């Protein structure tokens, strides 16, 4: 994602919008929804288990 922190983005329904350049990504799989982004971003399965947030990543 061009080095910009996506954590500063905005969640809008099922999408995440970059605060820096306005590109939108689908939260479910990281796919690009609107330019100027040209590549998908990583997406991870997340769940809450016993009050803990678990993020599934590949080893």
In the chain, where the domains are located? 6-56
pLDDT score recorded for residue 14: 95
- Based on the number of CB atoms within 10 Å of its own CB, is 27 exposed (0-12), middle (13-18) or buried (19 or more)? middle
Average pLDDT over residues 43-49: 93
Fold that domain 6-56 belongs to in CATH? Rieske Iron-sulfur Protein (2.102.10)
pLDDT score recorded for residue 1: 61
**pLDDT tens digits, one per residue of 4-38:** 888 899 999 999 999 999 999 999 999 999 999 99
* pLDDT-derived band at 46, boundaries 50, 70, 90: very high
Does 59 score more than 90 pLDDT? no
Tokens of 59: 């080893």
Average pLDDT over residues 44-48: 94
């Amino acid at each position: 994602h061009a080095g910009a922190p996506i954590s500063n983005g905005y969640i809008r329904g099922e999408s995440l919008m970059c605060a820096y350049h306005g590109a939108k990504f689908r939260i479910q799989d990281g796919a690009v929804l609107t330019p100027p982004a040209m590549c998908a971003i990583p997406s991870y399965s997340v769940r809450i288990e016993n009050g803990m947030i678990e993020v599934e990543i590949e080893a």
